[in-house]
């Protein structure tokens, strides 16, 4: 494996983690683990880059949901059942459900739904960051006990 400049490795992990948090497929966990296992980079810096990138990707989903919610053309193309389920979920569990934004399959739709349902950006960002940081912290603890 070629040695990357630490800045390039961190930037690459940030970008990869960003896109993995959007609707595009990708495993930021695999990228983080691969870089940790090289023993060439600061684990703390890798943790922060992955957390920041994944949180920023979630924020992009929120912005997409918020923006698309304004478009009547888009609203007519949404599956009313999915919107209703998301609305019920947020009414029942509130913004706290965003702590699960890291969970595969449901995490990305949760962040888009938060934008559609006009969850405030600051609480959104804090809860998503906590959830994603916790996931990466557990992963780091397993890899580097």
pLDDT per residue as tens digits for the range 45-62: 999 999 999 999 999 989
Single out the residue of 18, 20, 17 nearest to residue 32, CA to CA: 17
Summarize pLDDT for 77-126 with one digit per residue, the tens: 455 666 566 667 777 888 899 998 888 777 888 888 898 888 999 999 99
pLDDT at 77 (0 to 100): 47
Tell me whether residue 95 is in a domain.
Answer: yes
Distance of CA 140 to CAs 30, 101, 114, Å? 12, 18, 28
Tell me whether residue 111 is in a domain.
Answer: yes
pLDDT at 117 (0 to 100): 85
Single out the residue of 99, 112, 105, 20 nearest to residue 59, CA to CA: 112
Confidence check: pLDDT of 42 > 50: yes
Residue 6 — very low, low, confident or very high, per pLDDT cuts 50/70/90?
confident
Confidence check: pLDDT of 131 > 90: yes
Single out the residue of 95, 104, 96 nearest to residue 26, CA to CA: 104
Tell me whether residue 1 is in a domain.
Answer: no
Tell me whether residue 50 is in a domain.
Answer: yes
CA distance 17 to 123: 21
Contact in structure between 66 and 115 (CB atoms under 8 Å): yes
Average pLDDT in the chain: 85
Tell me whether residue 21 is in a domain.
Answer: yes
With pLDDT > 90 as the criterion, what percentage of the chain qualifies? 52
Q: Copy the structure tokens of residue 136.
A: 């990466």
Confidence check: pLDDT of 76 > 50: no
Tell me whether residue 71 is in a domain.
Answer: yes
Q: How many domains are there within the chain?
A: 1
Domain around 54 = 6-143
């Amino acid at each position: 494996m070629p040695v990357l400049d630490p800045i390039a490795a961190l930037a690459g992990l940030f970008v990869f983690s960003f896109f993995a948090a959007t609707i595009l497929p990708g495993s930021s966990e695999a990228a983080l683990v691969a870089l940790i296992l090289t023993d060439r980079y600061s684990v703390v810096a890798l943790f922060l880059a992955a957390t920041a990138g994944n949180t920023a990707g979630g924020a992009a989903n929120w912005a997409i949901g918020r923006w698309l919610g304004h478009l009547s053309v888009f609203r007519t193309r949404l599956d009313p059942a999915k919107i209703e389920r998301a609305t019920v979920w947020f009414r029942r569990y509130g913004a706290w459900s965003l702590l699960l934004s890291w969970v595969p399959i449901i995490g990305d739709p949760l962040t888009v739904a938060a934008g559609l349902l006009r969850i405030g950006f600051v609480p959104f960002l804090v809860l998503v960051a906590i959830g994603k940081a916790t996931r990466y912290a557990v992963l780091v603890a397993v890899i580097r006990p």
